[in-house]
Structure 1
Amino acid sequence: MKRSIFKYIITSLLTVAALGLFLRSCTSASTSKPTITVSIQPQKYMLEKIVGDKWEIKCLLSNGANPESYDPSLTHLLNLENSKAYFRIGNVAFESAIINKVQNNNPGLKLFDNSEGISLIRGTHSHGDVEHSTDIDPHTWTSVKNAKTIASNMYKAVVDLDPENKAYYSRNFKNFLSSLDSLDREISQQLQPYRGSAFVVWHPSLSYFARDYGLEQISLSPEGKEASVKMMQ
């Protein structure tokens, strides 16, 4: 008799637990957010400022990954194909390498280029001993002024995807622009005495930043290789 009661209690508890898991999964499914995938972490930060809690933002590159040598994993590509839209940063090699595959596997995926309207810098990345003037510097996001253009492109894209929440996105976008303006003014003030000066970096990733504030960027290794004696001089 005791064994039967014990068996009944265990069965009842398992049933309740299973029901709880089922209800939780249903609730989670019904309240899950649509997803937008971006290429790099700076995009994720900026887009989250605009969309708030309306979207889940996934990023192809993990923290610390190099966008110039990145090779997306199968998991990252699957995340992208499950998204409502893909926001490209533009002018990064890995994006061009995967875009056809992504479009073929998910023809309904909407694509947006966040770097539209940015005045691009060329010739900062050399190959071998030859400087290719047609090479586009991909690091557009290192400029606060460019960040405003990127954010503006993001805002327009999000409104296109979800026009019903335009007022919400507009408020967030204006607040973010205000913070970028404040940052730009602060940097301009701090660097004003150094306009016309040069700074040294390892990889030429601050070309747009240098342009904004009248500085000269000197890269020790445009290709990521060990600097020669001549380069060091």
Structure 2
Amino acid sequence: MTRSFGKFKRILEKRHFTIIITVFFLLLLSACENTASRAAEDGKAANGRISVVTSFYPIYYLAGEIGGEHANVINLIPAGVEPHDWSPKSRELNEASKASLFLYNGAGLEGWVDGFLKGLGKDKSVKAVQVSTGISLIEADGSEHEHVDDQAEAGEHLDHDAPTVDPHTWVSPKSALVMADNIKNALIEAAPSYTTDYEANYERLKKKLVELDNKFQTELGKTSLKDIVVSHQAFGYLVRDYSLNQVAIMGLSPDAEPRAQDLLRISKFVKDNGVRYIFFEELVTSTLADTLAREANVETLVLNPIEGLTPKQEQAGENFITLMEANLQNLVKALQ
């Protein structure tokens, strides 16, 4: 009798343990489901980080700095690739369509973006944000006009093959400040529970950009020369904001070939105005800049439009701020 009672007791204890384990896993599963549900409602993945896809490097850098540990930021364009002629494959577009945020420059830079935005189905939750909004854009002839916010009108007006607007907004720290503010607001709207952290990260980044702006203003204000000759007409916002003058060998697209008379005209300008350096960039060939420098008997220097990092820069830990500082050093050297 005692032996039977002991056996019965062990069976009850075993069943009691099984029930406890079952209840524990049911509670755990329910908690996970609630967490995932709350995350989806707040624009985040289940791991707590909002998914952000950016169209090219400067936006990637700004979004990563502001998003911090609460954002999983993916850049579409790989290191070493020039963004003007790049277009995404279906895999990249699919990745962007699954994100919570898709951040792009606009102003005609991404020639493929209008088609991508139109191709998004109504069931896609990704929010597309044009981060150049609020910057007074520069027309191809050098004049300014107010930003066009209507996407249909912008897509019709800003033909990437024959650009009428300079899309290189980010090359000026003043413009980068506007872009950073737009990115911060987009992140807060997508994941409001992280507002405090996004605001704090933004303030740290803003401090760096303001310091950079002050350096550009102070150092370039002291230079005796104001003319820069560049391989690619990518520095309109920089020269506008810091009272310089840009003479470009190629147009707004770096593959726009100059005519022979253009090269002769620029060579004469270099000689007549005491220009000592021809600026080239690292993501496109420097052949024309080298040719012009030899013709005018001057040297070459790098002026980086920071459209992307080279693999070497990426490995060395370079970033948007350090490359901007290098640009300032080379500008001061050329304009003294």
- The match for 2:105 is 89
- The match for 2:137 is 120
Which protein is bigger by CA-based radius of gyration? 2
Which of these residues, 175, 188, 195, is aligned with residue 146 of structure 1?
Answer: 175
Structure 1 spans left out of the alignment, 5+ residues: 1-25, 126-132
Q: How far, CA to CA, are the matches of 2:174 and 2:104 in structure 1?
A: 18
Aligned pairs for 1:61-140 (under 5 A) are 61-91=77-107, 92=109, 93-101=111-119, 103-104=120-121, 106-123=123-140, 135-140=164-169
Q: How far, CA to CA, are the matches of 2:86 and 2:257 in structure 1?
A: 20
Which of these residues, 202, 206, 227, is aligned with residue 258 of structure 2?
Answer: 227
Q: How much has 1:195 moved relative to structure 2?
A: 7.1
CA contact (8 A) 1:69 1:94 kept: no
Q: How much has 1:227 moved relative to structure 2?
A: 3.1
Q: How far, CA to CA, are the matches of 1:195 and 1:213 in structure 2?
A: 13
Q: How much has 1:61 moved relative to structure 2?
A: 1.7
CA contact (8 A) 2:56 2:76 kept: yes
Q: How much has 1:30 moved relative to structure 2?
A: 5.5
TM-score, normalised with respect to structure 1 = 0.78
Q: How much has 1:134 moved relative to structure 2?
A: 7.6
TM-score, normalised with respect to structure 2 = 0.55
- Matching residue's letter, 1:179: K
Q: How much has 1:143 moved relative to structure 2?
A: 1.1
Q: How far, CA to CA, are the matches of 1:31 and 1:134 in structure 2?
A: 41
- Matching residue's letter, 1:100: K
- The match for 1:18 is none
Q: How much has 1:122 moved relative to structure 2?
A: 0.5
Which deviations, in whole Å up to 9, do the C-alpha atoms of 1:139-194 show, x marking residues without a partner? 11111000000000011111101111111111111111111011111122221133
Q: How many residues align?
A: 199
Q: How much has 1:69 moved relative to structure 2?
A: 1.4
Structure 2 spans left out of the alignment, 5+ residues: 1-31, 33-44, 143-161, 266-336
Local SS of the residue matching 1:194:
coil
- The match for 1:19 is none
Which of these residues, 196, 207, 211, is aligned with residue 236 of structure 2?
Answer: 207
CA gap of 1:205–1:195, structure 2 versus 1, over 3 A, is farther
Q: How much has 1:78 moved relative to structure 2?
A: 1.6
Q: How much has 1:106 moved relative to structure 2?
A: 4.9
Q: How much has 1:196 moved relative to structure 2?
A: 6.9
Q: Tell me which moved more, 52-61 or 193-202.
A: 193-202
- The match for 1:51 is 67
Q: How far, CA to CA, are the matches of 1:171 and 1:123 in structure 2?
A: 37
CA contact (8 A) 1:48 1:57 kept: yes
CA gap of 1:44–1:231, structure 2 versus 1, over 3 A, is same
CA contact (8 A) 1:81 1:106 kept: no
Which deviations, in whole Å up to 9, do the C-alpha atoms of 1:95-132 show, x marking residues without a partner? 2232211x22753221211111100001159xxxxxxx
